[in-house]
């Protein structure tokens, strides 16, 4: 299976979370984690790990997108890996390299460093596509987003 298919699979596993509100990253991450199906995981630990990673360096990559992720893999198995695609009600300043506020998050949780790096690379490649960036502005559903990723 190619990396793009893996990304689509991880997005299907995590899903799309729409209309997320919050004035801080803590509020936003907490809201997403509360809505998530992560049985067997301490959501407070996941929240703390996401926030600790953000203190090291912003996960905003530009073009209104960020890829929040913990500094280390936290999922116990490959089956638990997932990406939550989060559409914010109001963009938030995450100190992006292009100074644009972030409106879309790809929250990444993996079980190993190899998958983590492959997914980051694949998302970076997708984000260089003008068509992909335009599609994200429409806040697509899981199905539309995954179909689009598989066509890249």
Q: Which of 21-25, 27-31, 50-54, 120-124 has the lowest mean pLDDT?
A: 120-124
152 pLDDT band, cuts 50/70/90, is confident
Residue 13 has pLDDT above 80, yes or no: yes
Distances (CA, A) of 105 to 2, 16, 40, 65, 101: 23, 10, 23, 6, 11
- DSSP for 19-78 reads EE--SSHHHHHHHHHHHS--TTS-HHHHHHHHHHHHHHS--EEETTEE----SS---SSG
pLDDT single digits (tens) 77-108? 999 999 999 999 999 999 999 999 999 999 99
Extract the tokens encoding 10. Answer: 């991880």
Contact (CB, 8 A) for 149 and 8? yes
Percent of the chain at pLDDT exceeding 90: 90
Contact (CB, 8 A) for 74 and 46? yes
């Amino acid at each position: 299976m190619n990396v793009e298919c893996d990304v689509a699979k991880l997005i299907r596993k995590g899903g799309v979370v729409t209309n997320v509100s919050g004035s801080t990253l803590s509020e936003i991450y907490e809201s997403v984690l509360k809505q998530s199906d992560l049985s067997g995981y301490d959501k407070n630990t996941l929240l703390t790990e996401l926030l600790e990673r953000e203190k090291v360096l912003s996960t905003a990559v530009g073009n209104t997108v960020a890829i929040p992720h913990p500094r280390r893999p936290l999922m116990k198995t490959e089956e638990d890996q997932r990406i939550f695609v989060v559409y914010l009600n109001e963009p938030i300043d995450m100190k992006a390299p292009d100074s644009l506020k972030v409106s879309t998050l790809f929250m990444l949780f993996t079980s190993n460093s190899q998958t983590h790096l492959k997914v980051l690379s694949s998302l970076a490649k997708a984000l260089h596509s003008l068509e992909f960036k335009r599609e994200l502005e429409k806040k697509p559903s899981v199905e539309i987003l995954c179909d689009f990723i598989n066509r890249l």
